[in-house]
Structure 1
Amino acid sequence: MKIFAETERFILRELLLTDVDGFFELDTNPEVHKYLGNKPVKNKDQIIDNINFIRTQYLSNGIGRWAIIDKKSNEFIGWTGLKFITDETNNHKNYYDLGYRLIKKYWGQGIATETALASLTYAFEELNLNEVYAIADCENNGSNKILKNLGLKFIEIFELEGIAHNWYKIEKAEFEKQSKLS
């Protein structure tokens, strides 16, 4: 099992098939999927397919979303991390996307911010990337607030599958500048 990063409260490690139950709890909740196209999964086979897909991204792209594991309870909280996007999105292709998704009972505890910050640190310090992008539904106030608090800059609104989304970007130099200030 590969651990990519740690925060004060969490281990960020590769997703494993043993995460099926936690991932199922996450992705069957309609509230979690409210701003993700309202398509919660229906069965654990879909989760297994998702985990296997992410695991192939580790091999193909050297990166993929990571499981968030609570250090105290060893529980699966959700996922965070980077994804290398090869399909065109908002006139961009072959870029790194920052994302996160938490089981609802863990919302509002600073977990997404804490683990996304660790993901950005990994992006700029370990992968030596020059920039990272993120997307959030315009109506998703929580996610938009997190991305802005992390220092991502709003670039524009674009349409994704018929829904208005915000397009964000952070560059390595800006991230390093912010890190020195905090």
Structure 2
Amino acid sequence: MWFKELETERLNLIEIGHHHAESLFEILSKDEVTKYDGIESLTLVEDARRLIDSFKSAYINKRGMRWGVILKDSGKFIGTVGLHQLSLANKRAEIGYEIHPEYW
């Protein structure tokens, strides 16, 4: 299955890999980021790696798709955006995102 990367004027939306685990952890360990997500703030970088694995699994199984949000000018990973609870048969999905508070 081919992962579609997207580009805007200021951002690249890319496939998230384990090399993004530290950056993802930095974002998802902040209570102000996770308080409306229905997840607990991460406490270990390994939790970020497991989450990345779950993003990949959801994509492979056509249940969701999650992009890393990268600033073009600096290459900095600032968050994620994507679809979850994806139902292709019903043409329905939920949209979610997490952005580092410095970029709100």
Unaligned stretches of 5+ in structure 2? none
Residue identity in the other structure for 2:37: L
3-state secondary structure, aligned to 2:33? coil
Residue identity in the other structure for 2:102: K
Correspondence 1:36 to 2:37: yes
Unaligned stretches of 5+ in structure 1? 87-92, 108-182
Q: Deviations over 1:106-163 (max 9, x none)?
A: 11xxxxxxxxxxxxxxxxxxxxxxxxxxxxxxxxxxxxxxxxxxxxxxxxxxxxxxxx
Tell me the residue number matched to 2:74: 73
Identity %: 29
Residue identity in the other structure for 2:95: L
Do the aligned partners of residues 41 and 65 (structure 1) sit closer, same or farther apart at CA in structure 2, a change above 3 Å counting? same
3-state secondary structure, aligned to 2:5? strand
Aligned length: 101
State the structure with bigger RCO (CA 8 A, min sep 6), 1 or 2.
2
User: Superposed, which structure 2 residues align to 1:143-154 within 5 Å?
Assistant: none
User: Superposed, which structure 2 residues align to 1:87-98 within 5 Å?
Assistant: 95-98=92-95
Which of 1 and 2 has greater Rg?
1
Residue identity in the other structure for 1:11: N
Cα RMSD between the aligned structures? 2.3
Residue identity in the other structure for 2:57: T
With normalisation by structure 1, the TM-score equals 0.50
Q: Which runs of 4+ in 1 moved over 3 A?
A: none
3-state secondary structure, aligned to 2:102? helix
Tell me the residue number matched to 2:51: 50
